[in-house]
Structure 1
């Protein structure tokens, strides 16, 4: 799939990003992900340390 920019994320989809910017297969590679495909959720921020804590 080829992504062209600017890109508008469709309704009920998410744009997901990997943590290795230069070497991640993320939405820049495969596009937006349907919300219905998400099977987990984040629970904690650990970086930057000034934001350390649980997500609500």
Structure 2
């Protein structure tokens, strides 16, 4: 059974509290957590009447 350190647990808990859409990947090597990746997804709906252009004026 893999055990989390206090730091790992707190990071995982914080990630879960703040993510609305996305994924959290926990990497385990030799029975120990070596990495935690949190990826948040942002989805935007573009409606034709709300599109704005961005210009780069020099």
TM-score, normalised relative to structure 1: 0.26
Q: If you compute each CA radius of gyration, which structure gives the higher value, 1 or 2?
A: 2
Quick check: which one's strand share is greater? 2
